[in-house]
Amino acid sequence: MKNIYLLTFLIFFRNGLPQNATSVNQELQQFGLQDKVITSLTVEQTDFAHISQLSDYVFAGTENGVFRTSATADSSDWVPIGLENKSVTALTVQHWGAGPADGLTLFAAVIPDYEGDDSTFIFRREVYLAADTNWIASDSGIDKSINGIYAINSYYFSGHEPPQPILAGGYNDLYQASWSGYFWVQSEIEGVDLRPVIKAIDVSPHWGAPQSGVAWAAGYIGLSSAAFRSTDQGKTWTVFPLNDFQEYAPASSVAINTRYPDSVYVCWINSLLLTPNNGKNWKGVLSTRGGGIGRVAVDPLHPENVFVGSWFVDDSHQSPDQAEFLRSTNGGKNWDMVEPVTNVPLEFITSIAVLNRLEENNTYVFIGTAGTGVWRYKYPIVTSITENKNILEHFIFYQNYPNPFNPITNIRFRIAESGFVTLKVYDLLGREVAALVNEEKPAGEYEVEFDANDLTSGIYFYTIKSGDFYQVKKMILMK
């Protein structure tokens, strides 16, 4: 197993507030379901490659069914949409189809009701079209002895690309299911014979990375807390043990940086860990004392915005645990504690979901709690969009020519300022097949020749990174 190195950067909490963090009172307010224990939240992710989004729904899983409301409304109006009397453990929503056939499929993992003779682990239903609104048991292939599914996530499908899998994990297994048939197949864990316990799964979107097959999971395997990485849409996973850091406890949450997919955050006991290089090295970017960090999420459009759900115990140990919602605007270097606009305290944070609404220039962050319902935090993205537009005006990444090609093609790019530039080529499984540029470059326009004589025909992705500029394009090799 791979060695893990910790670069320690501890931020201790005093009365719940990190010493180097400021306390800000922004638009964090309760958003309904105060009488429910929220177990999971999910939203439809925007397809930024095609600026496609069907709805503004936010879905909440509870100990008594699933609820839906408008994420952008002034006030919440949660509507029950089924699975009453079932305890939901995880949710994900997948956009499918194209044009008038578009739809949203919601997947819900539940605790099986063995006493009621219902051992189903996963249900699905359509939540956008009027038809097909009944929940359908969708756990064929899952071993009924695994006891529970704790995490589920799906790759985005816009109709422009082949449908991609749904991933699930729980007690003693990771699974992958195809978009057609929804039959679950047990995943392979490379290098070990033990089966994992999975607490969280995140997937890398096809518009933000050189491939859409990357996924990360968090949990433990044997007696080792661990993170898990897949580059083939969940068929096989590599294990990254975390026990070099502290005593044994499961990793509980994971989030992939959508702009730089080599960077991944993992929550583990009272620390937030970050790997900048696909698990080769890890560093602590946030730590608590007398509490813990249970949930992490990133803004898909601007992943420098990182959100954390933490908790602390009162020094007297007389009051119940209190939760705190933290935000970093620089990838975890500094943190703000976002305080509610009311005096109602947050309780234990169970889930965080982020929704970008480009037409409104707003980002909505939803926080699920075990006792005070759902909370919503809203902030504008106008400034970030403007900044990105300025970057794109000064950095140009051209389509390769010719395309399709055999076997030589040319790639042009222009950078507005001097800096370190990387230009790499990946195959469909996310494996790097060529590093064309990896050095400091002065400002200017460049052209690089790519010779694919040793590669097989197919689709490849090429990426460029220079400072804050990052872009992906697709090329086709036809021999």
Digit-coded pLDDT (tens) for 121-135: 999 998 886 655 689
Considering only 218-227, 263-272, 315-324, which range has the smallest mean pLDDT?
315-324
Strand 444-451 and strand 432-441: the pairing is: unpaired
Last residue of a domain, one of 325, 354, 385: 385
pLDDT of amino acid 477:
93
pLDDT of amino acid 132:
56
pLDDT of amino acid 101:
59
**324 and 421 share one domain:** no
Comparison of pLDDT for 389 and 338, the residue scoring more:
338
What is the domain-level CATH number for residue 415?
2.60.40.3080
* Residues whose CB falls within 8 Å of the CB of residue 223, separated by 6 or more in sequence, listed in order: 243, 248
**405 and 380 share one domain:** no
Calculate the alpha carbon distances from 198 to 168, 174, 213 in Å.
9, 7, 19
**153 and 215 share one domain:** yes
Helices (H), 134-191: none
CA–CA distance, 272 with 292 (Å, rounded to integer): 9
Nearest C-alpha neighbor of 45 from the set 84, 11, 4, 96: 96
**55 and 193 share one domain:** yes
1 assigned to some structural domain: no
Could you tell me the pTM of the whole model?
0.75
**456 and 327 share one domain:** no
- If pLDDT is split at 50, 70 and 90, which confidence band does 65 have? very high
**125 and 15 share one domain:** yes
**Residues shown for the chain:** 479
390 assigned to some structural domain: no
The domain total for the chain is: 2
Query: pLDDT of 409-466, one tens digit each?
Result: 999 998 888 889 999 998 877 788 999 999 999 988 899 999 999 999 988 888 888 8
**404 and 369 share one domain:** no
pLDDT of amino acid 159:
52
pLDDT at 6 over 50: no
**179 and 286 share one domain:** yes
* Residues whose CB falls within 8 Å of the CB of residue 331, separated by 6 or more in sequence, listed in order: 257, 263, 274, 303, 304, 306
Q: What is the mean pLDDT of the chain?
A: 82
438 assigned to some structural domain: yes
Considering only 57-66, 84-93, 359-368, 380-389, which range has the smallest mean pLDDT?
380-389
CA–CA distance, 151 with 91 (Å, rounded to integer): 8
pLDDT of amino acid 114:
76
343 assigned to some structural domain: yes
Q: 412 lies in which domain range? A: 395-477
CA–CA distance, 256 with 188 (Å, rounded to integer): 21
Element (H, E) at 382: helix 382-394
**229 and 129 share one domain:** yes
- If pLDDT is split at 50, 70 and 90, which confidence band does 14 have? very low
pLDDT at 198 over 90: yes
Element (H, E) at 390: helix 382-394
Percent of the chain past pLDDT 70, that is, above it, reads: 81
Angle at 307 between CA 302 and CA 310, to 5 degrees: 170
- If pLDDT is split at 50, 70 and 90, which confidence band does 316 have? low
Last residue of a domain, one of 348, 365, 385: 385
| Placement of tokens 């638009």 in the chain | 27
- Return the top range by mean pLDDT from 56-65, 94-103, 278-287, 332-341: 56-65
CA–CA distance, 77 with 402 (Å, rounded to integer): 53
Percent of the chain past pLDDT 90, that is, above it, reads: 39
3-state class (DSSP) for residue 99: helix
Comparison of pLDDT for 475 and 387, the residue scoring more:
475
Last residue of a domain, one of 363, 385, 407: 385
What is the domain-level CATH number for residue 88?
2.130.10.10
Given a contact cutoff of 8 angstroms between Cβ atoms, the answer to whether 436 and 425 are in contact is: yes
3-state class (DSSP) for residue 311: strand
State the virtual CA torsion across 443, 206, 364, 136 in degrees, nearest 10.
Answer: 180
**414 and 340 share one domain:** no
Given a contact cutoff of 8 angstroms between Cβ atoms, the answer to whether 337 and 287 are in contact is: no
**404 and 257 share one domain:** no
* Residues whose CB falls within 8 Å of the CB of residue 454, separated by 6 or more in sequence, listed in order: none
| Placement of tokens 């990360």 in the chain | 216
Comparison of pLDDT for 11 and 254, the residue scoring more:
254
pLDDT of amino acid 466:
85
Calculate the alpha carbon distances from 76 to 29, 54, 71, 379 in Å.
11, 19, 8, 18
Q: Which token pair is 283?
A: 């560093």
Considering only 75-84, 105-114, 290-299, 389-398, which range has the smallest mean pLDDT?
389-398
pLDDT of amino acid 240:
92
CB-side neighbour CA atoms (13 Å) of 461 = 19
Q: Which token pair is 15?
A: 């009365």
**434 and 299 share one domain:** no
Calculate the alpha carbon distances from 342 to 73, 324, 371, 375, 435 in Å.
19, 14, 16, 11, 52
Given a contact cutoff of 8 angstroms between Cβ atoms, the answer to whether 2 and 275 are in contact is: no
261 assigned to some structural domain: yes
pLDDT of amino acid 390:
47
434 assigned to some structural domain: yes
Query: pLDDT of 243-253, one tens digit each?
Result: 754 556 789 99
44 assigned to some structural domain: yes
- If pLDDT is split at 50, 70 and 90, which confidence band does 103 have? confident
376 assigned to some structural domain: yes
